[in-house]
A and B are shown apart, each in its own frame.
Chain A
């Protein structure tokens, strides 16, 4: 066949593809009889109402000397790993704000980090086009640095996002500027599957984010600069299962909905969208009117869903962090308006595995932890997360107060101490220090302590709070026994 004929066929095929896409769009439009907000309103739902002290910033993690680009929680034990432009990964104890590890990276241009499911390893990737794995238990070298235990090479572009496959210590998925996602075997360092690329149908631009389905770890979604999100089956690398259109700009972030049947996306077009995984329908658009000219429209950098899915946290380049009511499609809170909120773009955010705390990372070099500081109808540990909620039992007042905390049915003694107003990041606290610091929270209103007796310790008074908020220390004396 001559080149001229080939060119004609190419043009005809392109026209066919475009017309099929148009027909598909129209067919889907016919099925779009409602959206989540309209349906919820028809059921008489009303938006969640937050008071000013319901969600509070209860920890500020200071220590990075560069912009924070990425963070990840452990599946348990409330630790966070963060990656920063200063070329370090820092592992934090979220409850005490202490740093447990600081890892100096060979390539300082890190863009993503992730915790392994067992919490013993962390992975990171960036402009070096490779993914480095560090074992937190390994011996430090002469300079006091943790050596890299494995480097996963093979990408032809920068690594923008990575996530371990849940419950599998040895598998990791990365997304890259070379338009592919790759599933790795961490123990051998080999690529198991490549999703996308030149021949198989995949993204046609840089892939910026991945999210693996917690209910079915064979499925993951990826978001890309080609304005689409794609669903992949790790067992079928040859093609994407489904492509989700709708966004008008780069899809910066994707995150599965807690039920594992839907997922959310955040984009440069300043909107978040909720898609149904199985049908491909776009269920809801979350967008806010912005004042000012079009050049200043903030982009969505990261999203996370609360554990019930009712709240969608979205970080923006303006430093705002909108809390969307997913059912009503309304902004119910803006964490960016708080007095102690971030001062620059929010680059990453993530929810703890028990859903009791949100961590945000920002270009202002800090991370902040937000938790519920208001009243709650039940302080009992919830059956699906028995290890997260614990109650503080004040047995002895005085300075420093002695606390007993019931954790997972056992009990542990803590000696509380006041948190310093300045975080002395040069001083590394000893590892394994169980001290539980109670920050001075003047913003919290003085309130009576709730009384509830536990069957194991009938003479104590318990204060039901989330592990992050702790107890208010007012005037240096506990209010209680």
Chain B
């Protein structure tokens, strides 16, 4: 009891508890400068945006740009893009086909000898294989009958078509002359 009263007296005599003072009202220079700089930036941004709004008025629509892209891409070759075109028939097949058809054989003009002399010629059909114009050179070939026209497939030495008559010989052997 006495202790409590002593405590109260002490508290009454003690100076009042310190109350921290609020900071002095100095002008907030840092904040002010920052705000001013920020406002300046925003004003610039407003200017740019207004300019852009004006420029958008006369702009072409997106479809025009898309057309330009489409045109550019379509006209530029690209090494990475596959281009599977319909394959042409291989050269060998064409050669074989032409050999079988043998549409052209002017090489017979003048007979076999001229054909012999001119192995590279165009292939033209000629059904008149007259015996008077020559004969089979080979001994075993004794008669000439132009039973069938045959064209030789072009080779490196003779890239043209070479055509000639097939000799039919008495012994049944057929030879080219």
Q: Which of B29-37, B101-109, B113-121, B135-143 contacts A (4 or more CB under 8 A)?
A: B29-37
Residues of chain B contacted by A374 (CB below 8 angstroms)? 82
Residues of chain A contacted by B60 (CB below 8 angstroms)? 31, 279
Q: Which of B46-54, B145-153, B160-168 contacts A (4 or more CB under 8 A)?
A: B46-54
A335 to chain B, nearest CB (A): 12
Tell whether B72 is near chain A: CB-to-CB under 8 Å: yes
B85 to chain A, nearest CB (A): 5
Query: Contact check: which of A9, A35, A199, A356 meets B66 at CB < 8 Å?
Result: A35
Residues of chain B contacted by A283 (CB below 8 angstroms)? 62, 65-66, 69
1/0 per position for B75-88, CB-CB distance to A under 8 A?
01111111111000
**A382 vs B75: C-alpha distance in the bound complex, in angstroms?**
13
Tell whether B158 is near chain A: CB-to-CB under 8 Å: no
**A51 vs B82: C-alpha distance in the bound complex, in angstroms?**
9
Residues of chain B contacted by A54 (CB below 8 angstroms)? 82
1/0 per position for A1-40, CB-CB distance to B under 8 A?
0010011011001101100110110011001111110111
Contact B81 A279 (CB under 8 A): no
B36 to chain A, nearest CB (A): 6
Among A14, A35, A356, A376, the most chain B Cβ lie within 10 Å of the Cβ of A376
B27 to chain A, nearest CB (A): 8
Contact B82 A281 (CB under 8 A): no
Residues of chain A contacted by B73 (CB below 8 angstroms)? 308-310, 326-327
Query: Contact check: which of A21, A24, A201, A307 meets B78 at CB < 8 Å?
Result: A307
**A327 vs B74: C-alpha distance in the bound complex, in angstroms?**
10
Interface bin, chain A: 35 or more
Tell whether B8 is near chain A: CB-to-CB under 8 Å: no
Tell whether A226 is near chain B: CB-to-CB under 8 Å: no
Residues of chain B contacted by A23 (CB below 8 angstroms)? 53
Contact A389 B63 (CB under 8 A): no
Residues of chain A contacted by B7 (CB below 8 angstroms)? none
Tell whether A377 is near chain B: CB-to-CB under 8 Å: yes
Looking at chain B's contact residues, the main secondary structure is: helix
**A101 vs B38: C-alpha distance in the bound complex, in angstroms?**
50
Among A39, A49, A262, the most chain B Cβ lie within 10 Å of the Cβ of A39
Tell whether B13 is near chain A: CB-to-CB under 8 Å: no
Residues of chain B contacted by A258 (CB below 8 angstroms)? 72, 76
Tell whether A434 is near chain B: CB-to-CB under 8 Å: no
Query: Contact check: which of A24, A279, A310 meets B65 at CB < 8 Å?
Result: A279
A106 to chain B, nearest CB (A): 37
Tell whether A45 is near chain B: CB-to-CB under 8 Å: yes
Residues of chain A contacted by B41 (CB below 8 angstroms)? 199, 201
Residues of chain B contacted by A242 (CB below 8 angstroms)? 52
Query: A3 and B80 in contact (CB under 8 A), knowing A35-B62, A43-B70?
Result: no
Residues of chain B contacted by A274 (CB below 8 angstroms)? 69
B63 to chain A, nearest CB (A): 5
Contact A50 B82 (CB under 8 A): yes
Query: Contact check: which of A28, A307, A375 meets B79 at CB < 8 Å?
Result: A307
A453 to chain B, nearest CB (A): 11
Residues of chain B contacted by A10 (CB below 8 angstroms)? 35, 38-39, 42
A360 to chain B, nearest CB (A): 14
Interface residues of B (CB under 8 A from A): 28, 31-32, 35-36, 38-39, 41-46, 48-50, 52-53, 56-57, 59-63, 65-70, 72-73, 76-85
What are 23 A-B contacts with C-beta separation under 8 Å? A13-B43, A16-B46, A17-B46, A20-B46, A28-B56, A32-B61, A34-B66, A36-B69, A38-B66, A43-B70, A242-B52, A259-B68, A261-B68, A262-B65, A276-B62, A279-B65, A280-B52, A280-B56, A311-B78, A355-B78, A372-B79, A372-B82, A382-B77
Given contacts A20-B46, A45-B70, A276-B62, 17 further A-B contacts (CB under 8 A): A16-B46, A24-B52, A24-B53, A27-B57, A32-B62, A34-B66, A39-B63, A39-B70, A40-B70, A280-B56, A281-B62, A283-B62, A310-B78, A311-B78, A371-B80, A372-B80, A372-B82
